[in-house]
């Protein structure tokens, strides 16, 4: 079920009404039923994959909880990860079927398994398989995140939530903002990007992708808020970043944190990786040799990140390009510090900050354009009024995003939700001449 359809709006209205009335004493059980219904709408067969993931994850985690040491738990972890990763890679490579949200719920359950493996206390592992099923399938975040950790989401999901005007207005405002970004900006310009000349296309694509992805996340977070559930934020104004490392701390934060905590950190702190430093020092000298294992781990992590996005070569190239730029950027840190010491007034100025922000945006747009399948998806052309509309809407999002951080109150939220609904109705790219398009990240 696509977030931008009337079916979804109707589904959400019914779920919210029943959640706070008929099912107020069984809210999480009702959310599980609603999530299953939401997922089944995309095809009953898809339920099979998510069910296998939940059952294998639950059994393996419970078995690990009964054991004390990591050594004893390891076979269960390996077996469950093999099943989960096996399903993900098999379906990605063979394309026999691709259940919606597969990449997202697989990572969520993997984090649950690894946390259970690392847990000092077996009581931290869930005893109720239906609660794990809700964590895996919670419908607002199922298709494109944000990816949650069980430890942070369980209280939100399973505690009762009384109806709250503040939550409802905050949820509606966030949903309206998400729809605005998607329907007024992303869906208007995305179909024509391939027809633009290269540098313009790369910049427009960066903006459109931001509106599409953050729009979807806004809707997900808003829907959860409507139900009294707070999800983890996934973006922190990433296009204000001054370097690529900062960008990746502020863009798709839950995915970045996942790969950092479950791939990069364990790999780089593993004994083989640490021991690799000694031969590398002998081969390349002390300064470079000690860095080589870290560079390798960065490249492996970004290879995995690219592969998670898709099995096509351009995703791998995109991942490796990110890794390479991060390594170069990291190695230039000392030069950057020297430059700041030599020119303290310049580097502390707002102009220099602006330069770094523009430079990072251009660099990220360039790397992003490696995803050429979307860059080539084009045919139509936009008229001047459409470009003007998209441009003004982008400016509105920039200023409104700043404003809402400072002046958030139930009245403010409700007023702006109404304003945005009107703006979407007037300027949105929907209805005749437009086709309903899924959010880009649901492809992953």
Partner 1 sequence: MDRLIATLLRVNPDIDYASENALISDHVLESLDLITLVYELYSEYQIQLGAEDLTAENFDSAERILQFIELKRS
In the complex, minimum distance from the CB of residue 370 to partner 1, in angstroms, rounded to a whole number? 23
Q: Shortest distance, CB of residue 322 to partner 1, whole angstroms?
A: 14
Residue 266 CB, shortest distance to partner 1, in Å, is 4
CA distance 88 to 110: 11
Between 129 and 289, CB nearer to partner 1 = 289
User: Min. distance of Cβ 55 from partner 1 in angstroms?
Assistant: 27
Residues 193 and 204: beta-carbon distance below 8 Å: yes
- Taking the complex as a whole, how short is the minimal distance between the CB of residue 328 and partner 1, in angstroms? 13
Nearer to partner 1, 244 or 389 (CB): 244
Between the two ends of the chain, the Cα-to-Cα distance in Å is 16
CB-CB contact of 324 with 318 (8 Å): no
Question: Minimal distance in Å, beta carbon 206 to partner 1?
Answer: 24
Q: Give me the least distance between CB of 70 and partner 1, in Å please.
A: 9
Spatial distance between the Cα atoms of 316 and 96, rounded to a whole number of angstroms: 21
Q: Which parts of this chain interact with partner 1 (CB under 8 A)?
A: 118, 245, 249, 260-261, 264-266, 268-269, 271, 274, 277, 290, 293-294, 297-298, 330, 337
CB of 33 or CB of 304, closer to partner 1: 304
Smallest distance from the beta carbon of 151 to partner 1, in angstroms? 13
Q: Phi and psi dihedrals of 255, rounded to 5?
A: -70, -45
CA–CA gap between residue 145 and residue 149 (Å, rounded): 11
The residues near 83 (Cβ < 8 Å, ≥ 6 apart) are: 52, 53, 56
Nearer to partner 1, 237 or 269 (CB): 269
d(CA 188, CA 319): 28
User: For residues 297 and 413, which CB has a smaller minimum distance to partner 1 in the complex?
Assistant: 297
201-205 CB contacts, 8 Å cutoff, 24+ apart: 201/369, 201/375, 202/365, 202/366, 202/368, 202/369, 202/375, 203/361, 203/362, 203/365, 205/365, 205/368, 205/369, 205/374, 205/375
User: What minimum distance in Å lies between the beta carbon of 84 and partner 1?
Assistant: 19
Treating both helix axes as pointing N-terminal to C-terminal, what angle do 150-158 and 129-137 enclose, rounded to 10 degrees?
Answer: 100
- The tokens 């390009």 sit on which residue? 321
Q: Which is nearer to partner 1, 261 or 386 (CB)?
A: 261
Residue 320 burial by CB count (10 A; 0-12/13-18/19+): exposed, middle or buried? Answer: middle
Task: For partner 1, give the closer residue by CB, 5 or 269.
Answer: 269
Separation of alpha carbons 16 and 222, rounded Å: 12
For partner 1, the closer CB: 278 or 395? 278
SS3 label, residue 42: coil
- Nearest residue (CB) to partner 1, 1 versus 276: 276
As measured in angstroms, the least distance from the Cβ of 355 to partner 1 is: 21
Cβ closest to partner 1, residue 41 vs residue 295: 295
Least separation in angstroms between CB 351 and partner 1: 23
- Closer to partner 1 by Cβ: residue 70 or 359: 70
Say how far apart CA 256 and CA 331 lie, in whole Å. 20
SS3 335: helix
Name 412's Cβ contacts closer than 8 Å, sequence gap at least 6: 173, 404
Q: Distances from the Cα of 176 to the Cαs of 92, 342, 425, in angstroms?
A: 33, 48, 11
Q: Which residues contact 268 (CB under 8 A, 6 or more apart)?
A: 293, 294, 297
């Amino acid at each position: 079920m696509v977030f931008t359809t009337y079916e979804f709006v109707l589904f959400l209205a019914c779920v919210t009404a029943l959640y706070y009335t008929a099912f107020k004493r069984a809210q999480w059980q009702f959310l599980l039923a609603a999530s299953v219904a939401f997922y089944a709408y995309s095809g009953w067969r898809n339920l099979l994959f998510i069910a296998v993931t939940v059952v294998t994850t639950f059994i393996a985690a419970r078995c690990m909880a009964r054991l004390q040491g990591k050594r004893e738990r390891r076979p269960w972890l390996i077996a469950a990860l093999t099943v989960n990763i096996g399903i993900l890679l098999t379906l990605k490579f063979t394309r026999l079927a691709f259940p919606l949200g597969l990449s997202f719920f697989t990572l969520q359950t993997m984090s649950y398994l690894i946390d259970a493996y690392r847990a000092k206390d077996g009581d931290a592992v869930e005893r109720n398989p239906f609660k794990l099923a809700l964590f895996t399938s919670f419908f607002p975040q199922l298709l494109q995140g944000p990816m949650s950790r069980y430890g942070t989401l369980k209280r939100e999901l399973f505690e009762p939530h009384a109806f709250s005007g503040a939550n409802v207005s905050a949820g509606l405002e966030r949903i309206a903002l998400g729809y605005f970004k998607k329907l007024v900006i992303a869906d208007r310009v995305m179909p024509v990007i391939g027809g633009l000349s290269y540098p313009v296309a790369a910049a427009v694509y960066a903006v459109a992708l931001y509106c599409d992805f953050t729009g979807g996340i806004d809707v997900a977070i808003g829907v959860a808020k409507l139900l009294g559930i707070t999800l983890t934020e996934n973006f922190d104004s990433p296009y204000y970043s001054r370097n690529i490392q900062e960008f990746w701390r502020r863009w798709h934060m839950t995915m970045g944190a996942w790969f950092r905590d479950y791939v990069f950190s364990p790999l780089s702190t593993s004994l083989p990786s640490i021991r690799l430093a000694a031969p590398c020092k002998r081969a390349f000298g002390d300064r470079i040799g000690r860095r080589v294992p870290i560079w390798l781990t960065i490249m492996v992590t970004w290879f995995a990140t690219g592969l998670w996005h898709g099995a096509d070569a351009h995703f791998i190239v995109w991942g490796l390009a990110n890794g390479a730029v991060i390594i170069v950027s990291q190695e230039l840190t000392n030069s950057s510090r020297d430059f700041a010491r030599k020119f303290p007034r310049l580097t502390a100025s707002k102009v220099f900050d602006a330069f770094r922000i523009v430079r990072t945006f251009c660099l990220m747009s360039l790397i992003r354009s490696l995803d050429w399948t979307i860059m080539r998806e084009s045919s139509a052309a936009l008229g001047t009024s459409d470009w003007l509309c998209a441009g003004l809407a982008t400016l509105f999002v920039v200023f409104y995003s700043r404003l809402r951080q400072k002046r958030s109150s139930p009245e403010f939220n409700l007023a702006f939700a109404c304003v945005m609904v009107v703006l979407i109705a007037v300027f949105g790219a929907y209805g005749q001449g437009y086709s309903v398009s899924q959010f880009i990240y649901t492809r992953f």
